[in-house]
């Protein structure tokens, strides 16, 4: 009989459930008015005297084990009910998390960075609030230079030498001041110009400017670099360079890519020519190198710059540049499947 009690103790210790009804059935089985303990207590008088002590200890242990098990399970289940009341069914699947989307500006910027990183260009960044030296003077635009009128600038009223940068060329100046050739870097970032806001222009936009300085760098190196970029970015390998003017490069050129005339949109974008302007470029003016502490007699280099916003409009067929800065979720959700 004692062995049977020990089996019941082991069974009670192993019992577990998530149901209040099963806990109550367990209590009735062991502790009820017609339960097992009642029966074994009634048998106590029939036990041999030499076994009564051990029998009594064992039956008391069974009683305590059953009572502890009932109390523990009830407490656990009551706590679960409290949690469910606060948070609902904790076993149900979680709420779906909405999938975010990269901004089209970020998508295009990352593509450009990836393309140039394959040929050894690193990424450099600088402040958006600049001083006159880094934004103008060091770039061969001294005070009262007429080319300053090419960019209508936001100046800080309390200090006329502080302004919102008009191009990321200022980052290139800072990089040249802090690093020695060979230099191969691109500078993505936001720039500001006091322009009328319309579907095609904004008072702030994004640029990526590139710089390569080393010994014996030629215009042919520039052309091959841009040829590589247009092929990788647009899948278009036919480009042309038209003479242009930029104060910080000499000679300077505008870069066009042959987009084609396959659709009505192509006609609109290229004004019926098939050619689309995508960036400006040129050989770095020796004065700029000297201003940044680089010997222009020993080193030469090229620079280029393009608008990220314009390329985003082009690649994703966006009709209004203002959509890029309005944070309209309906617009941004269209780019969930993009890189």
The answer to whether residue 96 sits within a structural domain is no
Which pTM does this prediction carry?
Answer: 0.69
CB distance 249 to 289 below 8 Å: no
The answer to whether residue 78 sits within a structural domain is yes
| Predicted pLDDT at 89 | 65
Please list the residues that pair with 239 across neighbouring strands: 257
DSSP single-letter state for residue 18: S
| Predicted pLDDT at 113 | 96
| Predicted pLDDT at 86 | 56
Considering the domain architecture, whether residues 302 and 236 belong to the same structural domain is answered as yes
Considering the domain architecture, whether residues 277 and 165 belong to the same structural domain is answered as yes
CB distance 286 to 303 below 8 Å: no
| Predicted pLDDT at 197 | 85
The answer to whether residue 319 sits within a structural domain is yes
Considering the domain architecture, whether residues 13 and 123 belong to the same structural domain is answered as no
Considering the domain architecture, whether residues 71 and 199 belong to the same structural domain is answered as no
CA distance 197 to 203: 6
Give 105-151 pLDDT, tens digit per residue.
999 999 999 999 999 999 999 999 999 999 999 998 887 777 676 66
CA distance 331 to 322: 11
Check whether the bond before 100 is cis (ω within 30° of 0).
no
| Predicted pLDDT at 307 | 92
- In Å, what is the CA distance from 152 to each residue of 145, 147, 196, 280? 13, 11, 11, 18
Residue 183 backbone phi and psi in degrees, to 5: -120, 130
Mean pLDDT of the chain: 86
Of 269, 273, 272, 279, the closest CA to residue 317 belongs to 269
Domain end point (choices 87, 116, 133): 87
Q: Can you give the CATH number for the domain in which 276 is found?
A: 3.30.930.10
Considering the domain architecture, whether residues 79 and 116 belong to the same structural domain is answered as no
The answer to whether residue 97 sits within a structural domain is no
The answer to whether residue 25 sits within a structural domain is yes
Question: Residue 200 belongs to what domain range?
Answer: 104-335
- Can you list the residues of the chain whose pLDDT is less than 50? none
| Predicted pLDDT at 260 | 86
Residue with tokens 């779906």: 96
- In Å, what is the CA distance from 263 to each residue of 13, 237, 259, 268, 315? 79, 19, 10, 9, 14
Task: Tell me the DSSP string of 59-103.
Answer: HHHHHHHHHHHHHHHHHHHHHHHHHHHHH--TTSPPPPPPP----
| Predicted pLDDT at 73 | 84
Considering the domain architecture, whether residues 180 and 115 belong to the same structural domain is answered as yes
Considering the domain architecture, whether residues 245 and 325 belong to the same structural domain is answered as yes
Considering the domain architecture, whether residues 61 and 165 belong to the same structural domain is answered as no
Total domain count, the chain: 2
Considering the domain architecture, whether residues 64 and 171 belong to the same structural domain is answered as no
Considering the domain architecture, whether residues 208 and 233 belong to the same structural domain is answered as yes
Give 219-254 pLDDT, tens digit per residue.
999 999 999 999 999 988 899 999 999 999 999 999
CB distance 337 to 316 below 8 Å: no
The answer to whether residue 282 sits within a structural domain is yes
């Amino acid at each position: 009989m004692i062995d049977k009690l020990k089996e019941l103790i082991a069974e009670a210790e192993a019992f577990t459930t998530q149901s209040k009804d099963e806990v109550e059935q367990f209590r009735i089985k062991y502790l009820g008015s017609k339960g097992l303990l009642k029966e074994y207590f009634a048998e106590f008088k029939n036990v041999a005297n030499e076994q009564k002590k051990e029998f009594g200890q064992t039956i008391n242990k069974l009683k305590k084990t059953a009572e502890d098990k009932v109390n523990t399970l009830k407490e656990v289940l009551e706590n679960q009910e409290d949690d469910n009341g606060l948070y609902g069914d904790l076993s149900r699947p979680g709420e779906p998390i909405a999938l975010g989307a990269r901004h089209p500006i970020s998508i295009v910027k990352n593509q450009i960075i990836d393309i140039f990183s394959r040929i050894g260009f690193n990424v450099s960044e600088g402040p958006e609030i600049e001083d006159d030296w880094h934004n103008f003077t060091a770039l061969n635009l001294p005070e009262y230079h007429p080319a300053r009128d090419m960019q209508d600038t936001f100046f800080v009223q309390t200090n006329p030498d502080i302004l919102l940068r008009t191009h990321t060329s200022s980052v290139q100046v800072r990089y040249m001041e802090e690093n020695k050739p060979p230099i191969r870097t691109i500078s993505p970032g936001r720039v500001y110009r006091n322009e009328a806001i319309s579907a095609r222009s904004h008072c702030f936009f994004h640029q990526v400017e590139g710089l390569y300085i080393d010994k014996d760098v030629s215009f042919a190196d520039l052309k091959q670099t841009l040829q590589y970029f247009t092929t990788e970015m647009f899948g278009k390998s036919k480009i042309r360079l038209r003479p242009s003017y930029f104060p910080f490069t000499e000679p300077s050129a505008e870069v066009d890519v042959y987009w084609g005339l396959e659709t009505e949109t192509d006609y609109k974008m290229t004004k019926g020519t098939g050619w689309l302007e995508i960036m400006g470029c040129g050989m770095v003016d020796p004065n700029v190198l000297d201003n940044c502490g680089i010997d222009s007699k020993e080193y030469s280099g090229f620079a280029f710059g393009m608008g990220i916003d314009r390329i985003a409009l082009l690649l994703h067929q966006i009709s209004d540049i203002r959509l890029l800065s309005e944070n309209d979720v309906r617009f941004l959700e269209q780019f969930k499947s993009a890189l």
